[in-house]
Amino acid sequence: MMDGKSEIPTKLDYYDDMWKLQSTATLLSHFKGEDGRDVLILDRTIFYPQGGGQPADHGFVRIGNGVDSSDSGSAIKFVVTDVRSKDGVVSFHFSLVFHYGFFENMVGEAESQLHKGKEVSLFVDESRRKLNSRLHSAGHLLDVCLPRIGLGHLEPGKAYHFADGPWVEYKGTVPQNEMQNKQKDLELEANNLISMGAKVHADILPYDEAAKLCGGCLPDYVPKESAPRIVRIGENPGCPCGGTHVTDISDIIQVKVSQIRSKKGLTKVSYNVVSSLKI
């Protein structure tokens, strides 16, 4: 077993190019996690680690021969089933990332076949990345739509962009007698914007410039000495976000708002996207 958990941070390549689904990296460490799963740490990764309300990417890492997904040769295939940042932070360019999974065709002991400095090839599951990105962008789109339907007083909070029941939560409430109409208005407005399309921008900016694009201020968790990554839909105000997104909101295709519910000063909007994606 390679010596423990490398403390060298992993460069988050998806941060700059969200649609680079194949790449190469250097193996830094391999070890058994506390739960018995194998873990790889790489010097850079295109795999998204779970965080920010978005689930982790899946895919595989090819170690050794084979430069594309169909060429196995004598390479070792490591199937990636989960990806996590050590500190749960995915808002910055570097983070210690653990790739969890299992070896599909390992012969003999891993220790004799894996070593620090070995080049590996990374392959992200495209269909999962597309769905997760559509769900995440749809959540941001709902934020944009709220002021347009008279709910600008709602302040974005937590979000859950998982396929098993995505939702976005806001500080503030909606009167009970308005919920049904607002639900219809929100869905109509979101799909109207999707039909027109708008580019999704993800830019790493100096703190002051980032604050201007986010309505004049940034959340307290963003360090003032940092250069945060700001995601914007068209010319609308942005927000700090380390996740992956569609290139244009037209790629979301369609949003279904299934419920708006207010309770204890919070409003939760449940939504989903259509199940098929045009290629």
Q: Among 148, 143, 255, which Cα is nearest to 195's? A: 255
Question: What pLDDT, on a 0 to 100 scale, did the predictor assign at position 279?
Answer: 43
Q: What is the pLDDT of residues 139-174, one digit of tens each?
A: 999 999 999 999 999 999 999 999 999 999 999 999
* pLDDT tens digits, one per residue of 241-260: 999 999 999 999 999 999 99
CATH topology for the 10-124 domain: Elongation Factor Tu (Ef-tu); domain 3 (2.40.30)
Residue 43, token pair as written in the block: 């010097």
- CA dihedral of 173, 229, 189, 138, whole degrees rounded to 10: -90
Please answer whether residues 201 and 223 qualify as being in contact, where contact means their C-beta atoms are separated by less than 8 angstroms.
no
Cite the residue boundaries of each domain of the chain with CATH code 3.30.980.10: 129-273
Task: Kindly state the percentage of the chain with pLDDT values over 90.
Answer: 72
Q: Which two tokens stand for residue 195?
A: 């039909």
- Give the pLDDT confidence of 208-250 residue by residue, as tens digits: 999 999 989 888 888 888 889 999 999 999 999 999 999 999 9
Assess contact for 137 and 245: CB atoms under 8 A. yes
Give the model's confidence band at 263: pLDDT under 50 very low, under 70 low, under 90 confident, else very high: very high
> Quick one: tokens of 57?
């990417």
Backbone angles phi, psi at 213, to 5 degrees: -75, -10
- Displacement of CA 233 from its chain's centroid (Å): 16
d(CA 18, CA 243): 9
Percent of the chain at pLDDT > 70 equals 87
Q: What is the pTM for the complete model shown?
A: 0.89
The yes or no reply on domain 129-273 and CATH 3.30.980.10 is: yes
What mean pLDDT is reported for the chain? 89
Residue 4: which pLDDT band, with cuts at 50, 70 and 90? low
Kindly give, in sequence order, each residue whose CB lies less than 8 Å from that of residue 164, ignoring residues fewer than 6 positions away. none
Where exactly does CATH 2.40.30.130 map onto the chain? 10-124
Give pLDDT tens digits for 117-135.
899 999 999 999 999 999 9
Q: What pLDDT shows up at residue 237? A: 92
